[in-house]
A and B are shown apart, each in its own frame.
Chain A
Amino acid sequence: MDIGWFLAVSALIFTIGAVGVLTRRSPLVILLCLELMLNAANLALIAFSRMHGNHDGQIFAVIVMVVAACEVTVGLGVIVAMHRRRLPIDVDELQELQG
């Protein structure tokens, strides 16, 4: 199969994730969309790995998964902490760091 299809799917998923991050206001959904973006990148990496016939891309994909796991841990922890302090679950209202 032509590698173009894989890349097309990857780009599609990435765009969906990016648009989700930009448009949604719930931190939970933003995290999910971030996962989409990361996995789109994983798909592209593995496709390229198959094309070149070596395993470098797959190793990258594993590393990205590790990063994704860490990010989810921290992100969900932050969301739980926000929930406990009864902060609004809305990224637009959390703007204390403005200059």
Chain B
Amino acid sequence: MTSLELFAWLTLLFPLAGCVAIALAGRSLPGRGAGYLGTGALALSFASAIGTLLALLHQDHEHRQVVAVAWDYANSAGVDAQLSLLVDPLSVFMILVVSGVSTLIHLYSISYLDSDRGYVRFFAYLNYFVFSMLLLVLAGNFLVLIVGWAFVGAASYMLISFWYRRGTATRAGIKAFVINVLGDVGLVLGTFFIFKQVGTLDFLGTFEKAHEVFEPGDADLTAGCILLLVGAFAKSAQIPLHTWLPDAMEGPTPVSALIHAATMVTAGVYLIARMHPLFELAPTAADVGAIIGCLTLLVAGTIAIAVTDLKRVIAYSTMSQIGYMIMAVSAGAYAAGLFHLMTHAFFKALLFMAAGSVIAAMAGQQNLDRMGGFKRAMPFTFGCMVIGGLALSGVPPFSGFFSKDEILLLIGDRGGWYWILYVAGYLGAFLTGIYTFRMIFRAFYGEPVPEARELEQGHLYHAEVHTNPANDEVEDTEVGFPGPDHHIAEREPSMKLAMGTLALLAVVGGFLQIPKITHVIDHFLEPTFADSALYERHPSGSLIAFGLVLGAAAGIAGITVAYLIWISKPQIAVRVRERCDPLYRLFVNKWYFDELIDVLVVRPALWFGQWAQQTFERVFVNGLLVGGTTGVVRAGSSAVRAAQTGFLRYYALLIVVGMVVLTFYFLLSS
């Protein structure tokens, strides 16, 4: 085993070992021991990921795709199921982002969930999630990918329903799981379509053979790729499979930061980037991906302007940003999409952490309507929120500016109808500026709320009666509900460290790839995408300059609009709302997607279930099948029973008569 393979396996094994160790021994550790153990395991994993990176950089540029096989599950006629990892620049890029951000979020959780009675369980789940995610991105064949994909869905379910006595949380968990399983089915069926033609599960083997087996635009391949897209859409919360993501905000805030912003929801982006040789042979499927991504980024952006739950604003923003990434990787802007994935992981995790700090200061309350004026009480959180917000809105020189503009630049460079996506992308950037700073202005500016005043005097607000922020049901603080105490970043060094690091990364992350100046990501990922016709593109200088100016202008314009509406003239907000009432109601009701799914899927399923239970089962199964069978048996047995008189001599007579008849039969027939 080379050092490269060794490091890759170690990256995967540390979180698994951490999960098992915490699950078995976590309760016997004192205080925050489980948290430190989990964070330590992740830090080791991140160190191994860096080791993998260094070992990979040591290889020649052409030999940077290594398959590490542990063992074969089955290697027989037509099936090659192995436990194999594919270590190439794309997977190394992903494990660096996943393990790095995860380490920081673990660090944050050490303090944030301190008083929760499910502390140990939380870290066991969190480590399990990171293991699953690393398995997903390191998978070397479809089989391991599917396993990792399903593990991640299960981990997401467990963490959303972490406060398992909250009805809203368990319902959200079930919703997320069901939609994710829909995606799993898509992924598995898509795999079948591809496997049927190429005859191998291995990624590199598949990509090699795909060019021989499939004509461009092959129907089987297009169907397979669209099914893969279903998987990607479900996991990455794209229309119409997105409704679980806002509900997933019922989970603890670090979970939202880790799973529902930085890592898991980007799995769809990774999947499309990984399958790029297939998608390039099936341009129809790729176009579907690009259009859906574009739709999602606009729809989610408009909803984010209207919702009042702090975490849901960020959740819709996540959907919108992932829309950019899906659009990018579907349109062939792979490095740009993955670059945005990385910067987004930094600033969105930061935003969630800052939001978590504000929610803690509000003692669990998440409604923006009740917040305000936290600027002076929470300077550090405010600073982080603004940095994250500026990066998200794409204001130069923050990281989001470069990554978002890279995406739109390459999409604009494709020409043709991609111009529609290009324009929509900048419209989305404008919306991003509005909703991000609406959130910041409403939470941090304006008249300080009582909680903020109390914090200014040095007391952290503490709720007398704990309630569920979603429906104001009264809760206790035992296991299954949030703990009694809340922790804000200003008072917890570990939270401060995690947020500070991410803030720094959110500021400087963009410098990795500045058009015409640095090409770190482009160059690093090049071996993975070497066979792609779309990878090496050189947009004209004027397009670059135009895009950069337009991107910055769109972001700043959005912020300005937000400032005008929510700071300088607060009455505008009400007036705009009244004037565009139908539009407002469309946005605040999330474009009625939940209702649409209810009408199209849930109600027919319920109706069918009722019909099956009342008509089909009662009449056909119970009445006809079961009743018929028992009736026949009962009639037959009563006929047979009548012959059993109990008279011994009667039986003897029957035997004798039978013997005589038999004897005569044989005598006569011979």
Contacts and interface: CB of A to CB of B under 8 A. Distances in A.
Interface of A: 18, 21-23, 25, 30, 91-92, 94-99
B600 interface: no
B652 to A, nearest CB: 5
B649 A99 contact: no
Nearest to B656: A18
Interface string B629-670: 000000000001111111111001100100000000000000
B652 A22 contact: yes
A23 B648 CA distance: 11
Contacts of A98: 644-647
Nearest to A34: B652
Given A18-B656, A22-B656, A95 B645 contact: yes
A2 to B, nearest CB: 21
Given A91-B649, A98-B644, 9 more contacts: A22-B653, A92-B647, A94-B646, A96-B646, A97-B644, A98-B645, A99-B641, A99-B644, A99-B646
A95 B640 CA distance: 17
Nearest to A18: B656
A92 B649 contact: yes
Interface string B502-524: 00000000000000000000000
Contact of B646 (A18, A23, A30, A95): A95
B627 to A, nearest CB: 24
A87 to B, nearest CB: 13
B647 A99 contact: no
Contacts of B644: 97-99
Contacts of B647: 91-92, 95, 98
Interface residues of B, number: 13
Given A18-B656, A22-B653, A22-B656, A91 B641 contact: no
Contacts of B640: 99
Nearest to A37: B656
Determine the main DSSP class of A at the interface with B: loop
Interface in B491-543: none
A91 B653 CA distance: 14
Contacts of A22: 649, 652-653, 656
Contacts of A99: 640-646
Contacts of B643: 99
A61 B95 CA distance: 89
A99 B643 CA distance: 7
Contacts of A97: 644, 646
Nearest to B659: A18
Given A18-B656, A22-B653, A22-B656, A94 B642 contact: no
Contacts of A25: 649
A22 B512 CA distance: 109
A9 B646 CA distance: 33
Nearest to A96: B646
A96 B645 CA distance: 9
Nearest to A19: B656
A13 to B, nearest CB: 15
A7 B640 CA distance: 39
Contacts of A30: 648
Contact of A91 (B642, B648, B656): B648
A96 B642 CA distance: 14
Nearest to B643: A99
A98 B646 CA distance: 4
A81 to B, nearest CB: 16
B644 to A, nearest CB: 3
Interface in B317-368: none
A94 B643 CA distance: 16
A21 B649 contact: yes
A99 B656 CA distance: 22
A98 B648 CA distance: 10
25 contacts: A21-B649, A21-B652, A22-B649, A22-B653, A22-B656, A23-B649, A25-B649, A30-B648, A91-B647, A91-B648, A91-B649, A92-B647, A92-B649, A94-B646, A94-B648, A95-B645, A95-B646, A95-B647, A97-B644, A97-B646, A98-B647, A99-B640, A99-B641, A99-B642, A99-B644
